[in-house]
Amino acid sequence: MENSPIQYLIDRYISLNFQVHKKAEALIKGKIGDDLTNDQYYILKYIYQTGECTSSDLAAVFEVNKSAITAIINRMVDKGLIERTRDENDRRVIYLTLSDEGKELHQNCMKKVRVLVESIITQFDEVEITAFLDTYEKLAQMINNKKKEELGE
């Protein structure tokens, strides 16, 4: 294995990314409990923010195939968290919205996750957290650009 400065930084990034991602997901799962999987939580959050969407929208946003989204949505419909509504002009289009129970669960989970995240970010001063978020947004944009580049867009 190469021991160059760039290799050190690459290894450090990969290690930190794994640690932060896996541990943050576990902490979130601990807060949302057994009512939802993390994927279901993020889907609830997305639908709450958009008001309504289609399964195809979700598949695109979460970068998974439509069958994976359909399986998750079916479970969430069975739990009474999501409702399906056909488009009046095109019966092939099915919109997904949150039920009242889904909205309530979303709000309860968001409160718990907000407390968790607040307990972490308040350990940084405002300059540190702002610089981190600016850098993280830049990283997200660079990753989005790389993805588009690889897709030939």
Q: Which domains does the chain have, with CATH numbers?
A: 5-122 (1.10.10.10)
Q: What is the DSSP string of 103-137?
A: HHHHHHHHHHHHHHHHHHHTTS-HHHHHHHHHHHH
Closest residue by Cα to residue 36 from 117, 102, 114, 115 = 102
As a residue count, the chain comes to: 153
Token readout for 9 is 């930084």
Encoding tokens for residue 90? 């095109």
Two structure tokens written together for 76: 């969430």
Prediction pTM value: 0.84
Residue 2 to residue 14: CA distance in whole angstroms: 15
Instruction: Enter the tokens of residue 88.
Output: 């009046």
pLDDT tens for each residue of the chain, 153 residues long = 567 889 999 999 999 999 999 999 999 999 998 889 999 999 999 999 999 999 999 999 999 999 999 999 999 999 999 999 998 988 889 999 999 999 999 999 999 999 999 999 999 999 999 999 999 999 999 999 998 898 887
